[in-house]
Structure 1
Amino acid sequence: MDAEAAPKPVELHPVLGESAASFVRRLAHLNGLPAAEVLREAGARRPPGDLDPWAHEVFFSKQAADRLAVMAWRTPQELRCALPTLAWAAGRPGRRPAVRMEPWPGRWTPLAPCEGCLARREDLVTPVVLASGEPWQVCVRHGRWLRAAGDRPAQVSLTGLQEVVEAHRRRVRLQQQVGPYARALLADALQVTAGWWQSRQMGAEAERVWARREAVLGPGRQMWSVPVVVYPEAVIVAEAMAVYERQRRWGREFDNGAPAWVSRHWIAFVGERLGMPGPVEQGGYRMLREWTLQHRIAQPVVDRLAQPAPPPGYRTERLPVMDPHQCLPEHGPLEDASCLDWRLGRPVMAAE
């Protein structure tokens, strides 16, 4: 009599954005195996005995990722589309072990997924951990802010803060229209708006808006809530920065103004977009002016005037990475992608 055939592995659907360690742990649990056995099958020479997705991430070579896909009855493309660190690690140059477990690197943050998104899943035999390229995310479908907090993440309901959810939709559109450079613009815009929040440069009008959001979140005036409190204004500022940069790319001053007037014209434009022209003119201009100094046009006026007109449609085209953002990190805290030196919690040193 033939030996009993080995049971077919249980297939597993990944959660979008899931960490590789979380996926391995769930796959092992569903098949009644230790996680070390799954890692060994994928190509690990000395798999660890314990796997904690909150403390470590597992990085796979392309061949190891393909073997993991076979074990889960998924295609390699499916896994790379769903597991961000899987695609990232497979695309890195150089020779590395097929499977390696490392403490979470600074460019990635473990987050808990939105509870609403997982409500109907039946294969969540162990908790799911996301691999986020930023320390926080917004779920627009269920109105939740996912953030890293200490040793464990937290989820904050955005009920009553629909403008934050809408701001995230606008951010997604900005990324689609601008391309990867949108990350630098949003990073700069968050630095500007967080600087306004900390220094109170925008006066009572903005303070009332932010205080209302803080009251909805519940913590009062706390630094951990700043990204979500100023998020709507940050996205509007980032959109205005994209307008400025599209013109700068072709050597054009904003609104065809003279070189000495570019900051004033654009700063007034930002104030109008925010619906706060007075506060921007009276105090908010300081942080914006710091940004324009970093993004000024270096080409002489005579040379600019000799250039041909920009092509039709340039106001809506995607942007390349531009000075001073030559080395733009794709993952990690957004502030690391900013050209502004100021950081939340430090004295605001904007020029008068």
Structure 2
Amino acid sequence: MDGQVAGASWLFGPRRPLPVRVTPLRGESTGSFVNRLAHGQGLELEELLERVGFGQASRDPVRVRAYPSSTEMYVNERGLEYLAVLCGSTASALQEVLPSTAAAHLLKTETTQAVWKWPWLPREGHLVPLCGTCATARGVRETAWMISADRWRVCLEHLRFTDSDASGGGRGLSLKLLPETAEAHREREALSQRYGQVGRELFADAFQIAVHWWTYLPGTARWVRRAWDAGLEAEAVPTAPLVLMPEAAAVAARLTAFEHAGRRDGQARTRWMEELRSEMDGWGIDFSVGRLALMDWLQRHSTPATQAPDTADGPASRTAPQERQVSAGMPGAGVPGRLQVSPGHERAAQPTGVLGAASCLPWQLGQPACEM
């Protein structure tokens, strides 16, 4: 390693697959797959890296072996070719399942040699363990690290929550301990299936509102109780996504109803706020603190989507309202199935799946209350 050639033969690349085949998982990090590929041959990670190409890594084997859980491995085009030969696949097949081998993430190098790098942090997304039950079902007997848009993953099939902080260990935390949270994630999926990107953005807004509340009021009894039920530290940041989801799902329903109604006059806004005040009272959340986040959202969504102005060249691409038509067979098809969001959201949101970035609200989980 450290740029040293592992053998003259590797200047021309590997010619045949390694003896034991290891199948990559869809969505898996490249580093995780290479780690499992090495272990399948009875090798440690640092020993296999020498066969994938040249790169910079620590001289400490223990540190190198921890890379897959802390950062991602990136390769150039030739490195991808080497890796494909070693695992008995093709470069295009690997790019279909390993997100970080996509063309946009390949290293740009002047050399024609195979090169790999482990940057300090992944360029995009987060490393989150695959649900342990899913891994076992696929014949994987060690932690498989996935590239996730969010810092956590929820497996509704096995009711497991995994995150970048390894809450619940390698197999993940059982959501059987938190049935309200499991149901909230089902509601999140239903909103996304029903309204597409619009649904994802409204849920992101709702989650951010809940994040604001939790940041100022982390000792709220219902959130502390959920944390204790799951055996977690009540006011720890990694705990928040688990304990906040039920309220986030309820708020998402309120935001969706507001956008459906399309009314932005003072009377409609006051009535909407009073309905949420009543709900927050039932949750034990201080409305005087929580209303600030709600007022911020209302301000950003003050213009109905139907009044979005056109530019001289037609509707503006960034402010054009998004909408999704729901087919009769989808859940909740008995209510209006077309949803448009205020252009105020479109100007602020970023087109990504990460909850924080998909929202029009600026604060982030873990940000101190004094900075909000």
User: Shared fold by TM > 0.5?
Assistant: yes
Unmatched segments (≥5 aa) in structure 2: 1-14, 311-321, 327-335
Match of 2:9 in 1: none
Question: Would you say the 8 A contact 2:77–2:106 is kept in 1?
Answer: no
Question: What does the per-residue CA deviation read over 1:21-44, in whole Å, with 9 as the maximum and x for residues that have no partner?
Answer: 1101211232355656755665x3
Match of 2:173 in 1: 156
Deviation at 1:298, TM superposition (A): 7.6
Unmatched segments (≥5 aa) in structure 1: 248-254, 305-309
Is residue 213 from structure 1 mapped to residue 212 from structure 2 by the alignment? Answer: no
User: CA RMSD, aligned part only?
Assistant: 4.5
Is residue 146 from structure 1 mapped to residue 162 from structure 2 by the alignment? Answer: yes
Deviation at 1:65, TM superposition (A): 3.7
Deviation at 1:294, TM superposition (A): 1.7
Q: Secondary structure at the match of 1:138?
A: strand
Match of 2:125 in 1: 108
Identify which of 328, 346, 351 aligns with 2:350: 328
CA distance in 1: counterparts of 2:264 and 2:122, whole angstroms: 46
Deviation at 1:231, TM superposition (A): 0.5
What amino acid does structure 2 have at the position aligned with 1:287? A
Question: What does the per-residue CA deviation read over 1:111-168, in whole Å, with 9 as the maximum and x for residues that have no partner?
Answer: 33322222345453x5432332222222222222212339997733322311211211
What amino acid does structure 2 have at the position aligned with 1:179? G
CA distance in 2: counterparts of 1:6 and 1:107, whole angstroms: 32
Deviation at 1:259, TM superposition (A): 2.5
- Between 1 and 2, higher relative CO (CA 8 Å, sep ≥ 6) is seen in 1
Q: Secondary structure at the match of 1:79?
A: helix
Match of 2:144 in 1: 128
Q: Secondary structure at the match of 1:163?
A: helix
Structure 1 residues 17, 301: CA separation in 2 closer, same or farther (over 3 Å shift)? closer
Question: What does the per-residue CA deviation read over 1:269-326, in whole Å, with 9 as the maximum and x for residues that have no partner?
Answer: 657888959979776444212111122218997989xxxxx99948535768954454
What amino acid does structure 2 have at the position aligned with 1:55? S
Match of 1:82 in 2: 97
Question: What does the per-residue CA deviation read over 1:187-219, in whole Å, with 9 as the maximum and x for residues that have no partner?
Answer: 322221133334459xxxx94533431230234
Higher deviation after alignment, 321-330 or 52-61:
321-330
Identify which of 264, 267, 276 aligns with 1:261: 267
Is residue 235 from structure 1 mapped to residue 263 from structure 2 by the alignment? Answer: no
Match of 1:297 in 2: 303
Higher deviation after alignment, 263-272 or 310-319:
310-319
Q: Secondary structure at the match of 1:218?
A: coil
Match of 1:250 in 2: none
Identify which of 10, 19, 30 aligns with 2:40: 30
CA distance in 2: counterparts of 1:153 and 1:325, whole angstroms: 38
CA distance in 2: counterparts of 1:177 and 1:11, whole angstroms: 40
Match of 2:136 in 1: 119
CA distance in 1: counterparts of 2:202 and 2:54, whole angstroms: 43
Question: Would you say the 8 A contact 1:179–1:319 is kept in 2?
Answer: no
What amino acid does structure 2 have at the position aligned with 1:31? Q
Deviation at 1:47, TM superposition (A): 6.3
Match of 2:21 in 1: 11
Question: Would you say the 8 A contact 2:305–2:340 is kept in 1?
Answer: no
Match of 2:74 in 1: 59
What amino acid does structure 2 have at the position aligned with 1:26? R
Question: What does the per-residue CA deviation read over 1:209-259, in whole Å, with 9 as the maximum and x for residues that have no partner?
Answer: 3343123023453133222111112123234334444x5xxxxxxx25352
What amino acid does structure 2 have at the position aligned with 1:148? S
Higher deviation after alignment, 340-349 or 180-189:
340-349
What amino acid does structure 2 have at the position aligned with 1:237? V
Question: Would you say the 8 A contact 2:324–2:339 is kept in 1?
Answer: no
Q: Secondary structure at the match of 1:141?
A: coil
TM-score (ref. length: structure 2): 0.67
Match of 1:193 in 2: 210
Q: Secondary structure at the match of 1:159?
A: helix
Question: Would you say the 8 A contact 2:31–2:73 is kept in 1?
Answer: yes
Structure 1 residues 276, 85: CA separation in 2 closer, same or farther (over 3 Å shift)? farther
Match of 1:252 in 2: none
CA distance in 1: counterparts of 2:127 and 2:323, whole angstroms: 43
CA distance in 1: counterparts of 2:71 and 2:323, whole angstroms: 49
Higher deviation after alignment, 99-108 or 231-240:
99-108
Q: Secondary structure at the match of 2:190?
A: helix
Question: Would you say the 8 A contact 2:16–2:86 is kept in 1?
Answer: no
Structure 1 residues 341, 10: CA separation in 2 closer, same or farther (over 3 Å shift)? same
CA distance in 1: counterparts of 2:17 and 2:293, whole angstroms: 63
Structure 1 residues 177, 91: CA separation in 2 closer, same or farther (over 3 Å shift)? farther
Structure 1 residues 68, 8: CA separation in 2 closer, same or farther (over 3 Å shift)? closer
